[in-house]
Structure formats: C-alpha cells, structure tokens
Chains A and B, each alone.
Chain A
Amino acid sequence: MPKLANNGVSSDRLRRVALIGNPNTGKSTLFNCLTGLRQKVGNYSGVTVQKKTGITLIGTERVEILDLPGTYSLAATSPDERVVVDALRGEVENLDRPDIVLCIVDATNLQRNLFLAFQIGQLGVPMVLALNYWDTAQKRNIAIDIEGLKEKLGIPIVPISASRAEGITELKDAVIQALDEKPKLISPTWPESIEEAISGVRSELPEPVSARIDDAALMRGIFESDEEIFKRAGASGLETQEALEISKKALFKGGLNPANAEAVLLYRHIKEHVEPCISARDSSRIAGSESIDSLLTHKVWGLIAFLALMYLVFQSVYSWAGPFMDLIDMGKSVVQDTVSNVLSGWPMIESLVADGIIEGVGAVVIFLPQIMILFFFISLLEDTGYMSRAAFLMDKLFSWCGLSGKSFVPLLSSYACAIPGVMATRTIQDSKARLVTILVAPFMSCSARLPVYVLMIGAFIEPRYGAAVAGAVLFLMHFVGLLVAMPFAYLMNKYILKTPPQPFLLELPSYQIPKVRDVMLKMYSQGKEFVVNAGTVIFAITIIIWALLYFPRTESVEIETREAFVSEIAAQNGWTEEFALASIHEDEAIVAALDHKVSSAFIEQSWMGRIGKTVQPVFAGAGFDWKITVGVIASFPAREVIISTLGIIYSLGGDVDEEAGDLREAMASQKWQSGPKAGMPIFTIPVVIALMVFFALCQQCGATLAVIAQETSWRWAALSFGFMTILAWLASIGINQVGSWF
C-alpha cells in the first residue's frame, strides 16, 4: 500500500533515519531495539563496519533505519568512517540521503560526542539527539539540563537507555515529528575569518564550479583541506590548490591554524554553550575500570593474564569443538551412506552427490563449531571491554613491523579462520596498515591446517619421538606462519608501501558485564556470514575438485585393475584365475580392497592424477611423489581436502580422517617405485616437515582469496596467492634439502 508522506502526496519511498554517533555509543543496540533485527554489538570501538538498514514501525508509518559505523569526526580517516560521510552525502549505492539524522551521544561524555553532532548540523541535515547511557549517567549523578540544552541546540533531545530499551517510545515520537518538522541544529556563530575564507575560495573558483558546491560542503573542504570536494565539483588541480591556499591565508589572518581551526572553534562553542547545562562530572566509572586495569594491564601480571587468557581461549576452541566436529563428520558419513545406497544404480550421480555435494556441504559445516566457539570468546572479550586492553598490551609487538595493536584482533581471529580475520581488519584506520594486516592474516595457522598437522605428526613424529615431541611440534607449527608474517609485514611496509608510521589511537572503554544476548548474537551472525560468504565458494570448489578427480572415467581402467587384482590373488594362493574370481566375492574385506584399488586406479588416470604426475617434478625437490602432489594440488581450494584425497589415492576410500590408523599406516608404507630412491620410504622426516611447512605457508583457500578480493582488489588477492605459494614452495624444498643432509 502506498504511503502518505507528510505533504499528503502518496509516495512509495520510505522515509529514512540515519543513526550516527561516536564509536561505542550504542547505535547498533538502538538499531536492534527499533527494528527487531540482530546487528552485532560490543563494547569495543568499531564493531559495526558496514551500513545496515532495517524498518521500524512508528504509529502506522514504516520508517527505514540505517545503522552506520561509529565515527569521531566527519574528517574520515578509515574506510568505516568514510561510509558515514558517504551516507550523509547520499553517495552510498541504492541509498538516498537520509531525511533526518538520529544522532546518538553518550550522555556521560557529552562534550566530545557533540563535536560530531555540530559537524553534522553544519551540513544542514535535520537532527534528533538521543542521549544514550542515561542509566549510567544517573548512576553517576551526572545531571543534564535537557530543557536548557534543547534551547541551545534547537532540536528535540530524548534521554534513552538503548540496552534497557528505555525511552524508546518517546524517541520514536520525536523522530516521527522531526520527519515532518525537520528541526535543524543551531550552528555556532563562526568568526569572520571563516566567512572570508568562504568568499575568498568562491571568488577563486570558476563560477560553475563554485555553484556546484554549497556552503556546507565548502566549509568541510576548508576545515579538512580536502581537495576531493573541489575536484568532484570540477575544479582543476591548480584551482584547487589556489582555493585552499586562499582559505588558509584567511584563517591565519583570523588567528586560526587551518589544521585545527574546526576543533578549536567547536570545542570553544561547546564549552560556552553546552557545558553550563551539565552538572559536575564524577569519575567513579573510570576509577572502577582503573582498579581492574591495575591487574589486567599491570607490567607483569597483565602480560601473564593475557597469555593465560589466550591459552585458555585456544585450548577451548580446540577441545570444545572436537566433539561437535566428530558429530558433524558422523552425520555426514551417515547421509553419504544412505545416499549411496539409494543411488547405487547410477555411479556417476552417486559419486557427485556423495563425494561432491555432501562432501562440499560437510566441508563448510565442519568449520562452524570452531568459528562459533572462537567468536564466543572474542565477543566475550569485546563485550567486557578487555579487547581494547589486549590491543593496548600488544601494540609494541606489532608497531615495529608497521602494524598496530588493532591488528591483534584480526590476526587472532585468523587463527580460527582467515575469513572473519580479514573482515575484522575494517576497524583499522590506516589503509596501508589495514592492507598489510589483510595480507598477513592468511599466514596465521587457521584451523583447516590443523588436520594436516595432526595427520603428519600422528603418522610420523609421534611413533618415532613420542607424545611430548609431537605436542611441541604441533605447537611450533602454529608459529611458523607468524614468524614469516612479521618480517613480511616489515618489508611490505618499508619497501613496497613505504608506509609512514601510522597514528595509533585507542579508546579503552569502561569494563562492563557482558550480555548473553549480545554474545550469542555475534556467534550466530559470524557463523551465518561464514556459511553465506565462504561456504558457497568452498562448496563450489569442492565440486570442481570432485569433477577433476572423477573424470575421465574409462571403464577399461576398472576391468584392467580387476584382472590384475584377480591374478595377484590367484598367484598368491596358487588358485586358478576362475577360482580366484569366484572366491573374492565371498570375502567382504577382499571386495573392499578391490574397490579401493579401483578408485585409486581411477584417480591415477583422472585429470587430477594426470596433473599431479605432470606437476610432480616441480615438487621433486621437496621430496613429494605424484600422490602427495595430487593431494597438494587438490587442496589448493581448501587445505583440509588433502586428507580425503590422500585417503582415496592410498586406496582406503575417501571416508578417512586424520586420526585414521590405516591412513597413517598406508602413508608410512609408501615407497618410491622407481628413480634413484627406489624402494626407499617416501615419507622421511624432512619430507613430513616440508609438507607441513608447505601447508603452513601456502595460500590454499579459495574462500580467503575471495574475501581478500572483496576487501581490497583482485590484484592484491592475486599477489597474496602468488607470494604465499612461491614462499611455501621454496620453504618446502629448502627444508627437504637441508634436512636430507642429516
């Protein structure tokens, strides 16, 4: 049904309200409250990194609400802040300018929060002000004279507590009224020098260019020395330069420094007009947080507590996820078996469904437990307020290579999966630091590498050196990537991006008790995001690999293998071939062995098998035979594929896991068939380590590449792929060569 807009004209377009405010002021909490949606919230600056829209019902009108990332200023310094500016300008795809801005400010920190409000007000957008954290303000005896403030600001002001859903009705009423009345914030009276700068710039710009920029935009250009604003309106480089030069001169003449004129003027205005409406501040909240910090950021105890916490988190991610993963695996096998039985008449379809589709779904779902458990902890750490302390503690370790403490969270997440890790880099202001963090993230030992380590260590290290060494190797494997990543980041920064040292500004929010709902929500939404984004890619790739392993399927291969097998059995037992042929069907074990031999033969002459044999010389230096090479290539789209691929190649069938004893035995008994090393075992210790390091360093994850491309560009995704693959290849050869001397 078409809506009746305020002017009585029917219109299909919903009226829009944009939620804008400093980071961590509760925008997403309010958004969820208004729309009933489930946007992620957390006690950490930069939880929301993308815009999100929802609908709220006010009276009978449906109003569109837009949740945006937090920002301190319209002078954006990071991609998530830029989103806010673009949304206000109406330059976001499929989104018109908002009809009004609902500015969310932290009532316990009005002065700083109103800085942004005044910037937005200057743009001429109608505004409603929500004073959030009203509960905290009252607890701390902060009295705000709302009537007085309304008079000074000239806009509706509503105290709310978003997390307790208090004041929402009043807020909705104010919003709907504002949509009709369009109240504007009373701007400060700017000194003459600003007026002079504006008119000076206008006289410098050609008439048509000047006409295209309104005063508000021009002022932003002057305050931010932002060339873009002029260039977008069609000014040449020279005209832009000169216009900015004139404005700077005008400001200097008025005793203002162009670099901080806006901050000086706005804070002066806030001090004169806003502060009188606020009664004395007390600082009990910060005092409480500080006493917790006296332990958690203590010189000694702080670091110990940090390490202990991280250990606990990873320990739990591994041990808690285990049973769920086993369950998923079991479920997968059951479904595969059932489907195989039903479709056994059509071998190709059976294989496509069981080994392709179900395997593909399984490959996605298997990661869910770890991702969700990791995000359970991450959101717990975020919600309590500890996450920023972790960044505070770790910053020094990252700063030498051009990263910052803010890289810590993304890199930590990458230990579960690089995909959420790469997405978490959106909170990093500096674009180059963000890029480097993205490129470094796939080096972190993600959970998909774990099965490979477990298989290799279980098969070769543990039997020879015992459980203690095995555990130590497993632990060390998790640092291989990190050890390579840090120097890589350093070199990238120093020689390729030539990054100037990036500013590091971090707010340490007060500690609070985490809210169960928020934590659950984040687990759910991360899981969903993973399934939707990465899941589809993983799924598609699994099917492609299946096809490469399945085709071409010439019947003669099966017949030849069968005949060879029968003669082998006959020779072994001194039977005639007819007798052997008849008797092998009696023994289930022999039937299974024959089946596995046939699958193995099929793989050998499949496209993938042929590729493996062709490519094998490339990996000869690392000591890989064609079978390992097939495993390596098949796992380029997703590392964990190697386990099932090896299972098939070694004639065990595909449903083996990394704990399977028979796969370990099969691998241990592999010998070179020909060449100088004929008869010697393939899997020597150097080869085993080379293979593990290859997996540690190689970019074998199509989903991560897709996410990197989405967050940067395909060029960087390609670079990441090329660099990591070459590095992994060189490292595996180096290790095998050096290792073979001993």
Chain B
Amino acid sequence: MKTLNDLNDGQIAKIGSYKRTQGVSRRLMELGLMPGVTVRFIKSAPLGDPIALDVGGRQLSLRREDAAQIIVQPV
C-alpha cells in the first residue's frame, strides 16, 4: 500500500483513501485532495520535509506526517 509519501519527484498518482479521517484530512479534502483526484509529487523541501504537490494546477505543500495518511495509486 503506497502513500503520498512514497512517491518520487515528478511521479503522478491517484488519491485512494485516507487512513485517518480526523484532523488535517478534512482541510486537505476541502482543498481538492479528494479520493479519485490525480496529483503530481513535485519535490520535497531541501531538508526533506515538507513536500510540494501539484493539485489541479496549484502547488500545495504539506508535511510528510500528513502525507503518510493518504493512500495513493501511482499511474
């Protein structure tokens, strides 16, 4: 089971589901990180954390800890 965290720079994946539905996940979904949406892993910050994603043409940054909650399917 891959999470957002396991993607490489530039890799594209489809969002599956969330491991936890409390906390930050609500806001992530409101921002468009919905199950079924395709995202692109852009890169991680120089110090390894956080990461930058392309969500529907927007760059969004979140921490690895939160990214680890999102199960994805690489395409």
Whether A393 contacts B26 by the Cβ 8 Å rule is: no
Q: Contact partner of A507 among B25, B48, B59, B63, CB < 8 A? A: B59
Whether A303 contacts B46 by the Cβ 8 Å rule is: yes
Q: Contact partner of B57 among A283, A300, A303, A396, CB < 8 A? A: A283
Which A residues between 292 and 330 are near B, CB-CB below 8 angstroms?
293, 297-300, 302-303
Which A residues between 61 and 96 are near B, CB-CB below 8 angstroms?
72-73, 75, 77
Which residues of the partner chain B approach A501 to less than 8 Å between Cβ atoms?
A: 65
Query: How long is the Cα–Cα vector from A509 to B47 in the complex, in angstroms?
Result: 21
Query: How long is the Cα–Cα vector from A111 to B21 in the complex, in angstroms?
Result: 22
Whether a CB of chain A sits under 8 angstroms from the CB of B61 is yes
Closest Cβ neighbor of A73 among chain B residues: B30
In the complex with contacts A257-B21, A297-B43, A399-B49, A77-B61 CB distance below 8 A? no
Which residues of the partner chain B approach A257 to less than 8 Å between Cβ atoms?
A: 21
Whether B30 contacts A392 by the Cβ 8 Å rule is: no
Name, among A285, A302, A392, the residue most crowded by chain B CB atoms within 10 Å (CB to CB): A392
Q: Contact partner of A503 among B18, B24, B56, B60, CB < 8 A? A: B24
Which residues of the partner chain B approach A300 to less than 8 Å between Cβ atoms?
A: 46
**A116: shortest Cβ distance to chain B, in Å?**
8
Whether B28 contacts A505 by the Cβ 8 Å rule is: yes
Query: How long is the Cα–Cα vector from A443 to B61 in the complex, in angstroms?
Result: 28
Which B residues between 17 and 59 are near A, CB-CB below 8 angstroms?
18, 21-32, 34-35, 42-43, 45-50, 52, 54, 56-59
Which A residues between 534 and 565 are near B, CB-CB below 8 angstroms?
none
Whether A393 contacts B45 by the Cβ 8 Å rule is: yes
Whether a CB of chain A sits under 8 angstroms from the CB of B6 is no
Which residues of the partner chain A approach B62 to less than 8 Å between Cβ atoms?
A: 503-506
**B7: shortest Cβ distance to chain A, in Å?**
16
Whether a CB of chain B sits under 8 angstroms from the CB of A289 is yes
Closest Cβ neighbor of A405 among chain B residues: B50
- Encode A389-431 as 1/0 by CB contact (under 8 A) with B: 0001101110100000100000000000000000000000000
Which residues of the partner chain B approach A172 to less than 8 Å between Cβ atoms?
A: none
Whether a CB of chain B sits under 8 angstroms from the CB of A592 is no
What secondary structure prevails in chain B residues at the interface with A? mixed
Whether B26 contacts A75 by the Cβ 8 Å rule is: yes
Which residues of the partner chain A approach B23 to less than 8 Å between Cβ atoms?
A: 503
Whether a CB of chain B sits under 8 angstroms from the CB of A259 is yes
Q: Contact partner of B29 among A264, A397, A507, CB < 8 A? A: A264
Q: Contact partner of B31 among A108, A504, A505, CB < 8 A? A: A505
Whether B27 contacts A73 by the Cβ 8 Å rule is: yes
Which residues of the partner chain A approach B61 to less than 8 Å between Cβ atoms?
A: 388, 392, 395, 504-508
Query: How long is the Cα–Cα vector from A99 to B23 in the complex, in angstroms?
Result: 34
Query: How long is the Cα–Cα vector from A248 to B63 in the complex, in angstroms?
Result: 29
Whether a CB of chain B sits under 8 angstroms from the CB of A286 is yes
Q: Size class of B's contact patch?
A: 35 or more
Whether B59 contacts A289 by the Cβ 8 Å rule is: yes
Closest Cβ neighbor of B50 among chain A residues: A395
Whether B63 contacts A504 by the Cβ 8 Å rule is: yes
Whether B29 contacts A297 by the Cβ 8 Å rule is: no
Whether A297 contacts B27 by the Cβ 8 Å rule is: no
Whether a CB of chain B sits under 8 angstroms from the CB of A290 is yes
Whether A395 contacts B34 by the Cβ 8 Å rule is: no
Whether B60 contacts A507 by the Cβ 8 Å rule is: yes
Query: How long is the Cα–Cα vector from A393 to B48 in the complex, in angstroms?
Result: 9
Query: How long is the Cα–Cα vector from A514 to B28 in the complex, in angstroms?
Result: 29
Whether a CB of chain B sits under 8 angstroms from the CB of A109 is yes
Whether A397 contacts B50 by the Cβ 8 Å rule is: no
Which residues of the partner chain B approach A285 to less than 8 Å between Cβ atoms?
A: 57
Whether A72 contacts B30 by the Cβ 8 Å rule is: yes
In the complex with contacts A109-B58, A257-B21, A503-B46 CB distance below 8 A? no
Whether A299 contacts B46 by the Cβ 8 Å rule is: yes
Which residues of the partner chain B approach A283 to less than 8 Å between Cβ atoms?
A: 54, 57
Whether A109 contacts B57 by the Cβ 8 Å rule is: yes
Q: Contact partner of B49 among A299, A303, A395, A506, CB < 8 A? A: A395
Query: How long is the Cα–Cα vector from A289 to B43 in the complex, in angstroms?
Result: 13
Query: How long is the Cα–Cα vector from A299 to B43 in the complex, in angstroms?
Result: 10
Closest Cβ neighbor of B66 among chain A residues: A503
Which residues of the partner chain B approach A619 to less than 8 Å between Cβ atoms?
A: none
Which residues of the partner chain A approach B45 to less than 8 Å between Cβ atoms?
A: 297, 392-393, 395-396
Whether B47 contacts A397 by the Cβ 8 Å rule is: yes
Whether A111 contacts B56 by the Cβ 8 Å rule is: yes
**A730: shortest Cβ distance to chain B, in Å?**
33
**A539: shortest Cβ distance to chain B, in Å?**
42
Which residues of the partner chain A approach B18 to less than 8 Å between Cβ atoms?
A: 260
Closest Cβ neighbor of B18 among chain A residues: A260
Which residues of the partner chain A approach B27 to less than 8 Å between Cβ atoms?
A: 72-73, 75, 77, 503, 505
Closest Cβ neighbor of B61 among chain A residues: A506
Whether B47 contacts A286 by the Cβ 8 Å rule is: no
Whether a CB of chain B sits under 8 angstroms from the CB of A281 is yes
Whether A260 contacts B63 by the Cβ 8 Å rule is: no
Which residues of the partner chain B approach A281 to less than 8 Å between Cβ atoms?
A: 56-57
Which residues of the partner chain A approach B49 to less than 8 Å between Cβ atoms?
A: 395-396, 399
**A483: shortest Cβ distance to chain B, in Å?**
19
Closest Cβ neighbor of B51 among chain A residues: A392
Which residues of the partner chain A approach B32 to less than 8 Å between Cβ atoms?
A: 111-112, 115, 267
**B64: shortest Cβ distance to chain A, in Å?**
10
**A597: shortest Cβ distance to chain B, in Å?**
59
Whether a CB of chain B sits under 8 angstroms from the CB of A591 is no
Q: Contact partner of A298 among B46, B47, B52, CB < 8 A? A: B46
Query: How long is the Cα–Cα vector from A297 to B28 in the complex, in angstroms?
Result: 23
**B22: shortest Cβ distance to chain A, in Å?**
6
Which residues of the partner chain A approach B22 to less than 8 Å between Cβ atoms?
A: 259
Whether A109 contacts B56 by the Cβ 8 Å rule is: yes
Which residues of the partner chain B approach A263 to less than 8 Å between Cβ atoms?
A: 26, 29-30, 34
Whether A108 contacts B34 by the Cβ 8 Å rule is: no
Closest Cβ neighbor of A257 among chain B residues: B21
Which residues of the partner chain B approach A507 to less than 8 Å between Cβ atoms?
A: 58-61
Which residues of the partner chain B approach A260 to less than 8 Å between Cβ atoms?
A: 18, 21, 25-26, 29
Task: Add 20 more A-B contacts to A75-B30, A259-B22 (CB < 8 A).
Answer: A73-B27, A73-B30, A109-B58, A112-B32, A259-B21, A263-B29, A264-B29, A267-B29, A281-B56, A302-B46, A396-B47, A399-B63, A504-B50, A504-B61, A504-B63, A505-B62, A506-B50, A506-B60, A506-B62, A507-B58
Nearest 3 Cβ contacts at the A-B interface: A503-B24, A396-B47, A263-B29
22 pairs from A and B in contact (CB 8 Å cutoff): A73-B27, A77-B27, A111-B56, A260-B29, A286-B58, A293-B43, A293-B52, A297-B52, A298-B46, A302-B46, A393-B47, A395-B47, A395-B61, A396-B45, A396-B49, A397-B47, A399-B49, A501-B65, A503-B24, A506-B62, A507-B61, A509-B59
Could you list which residues of chain B lie within 8 angstroms of chain A, going by C-beta atoms?
Answer: 18, 21-32, 34-35, 42-43, 45-50, 52, 54, 56-63, 65-66
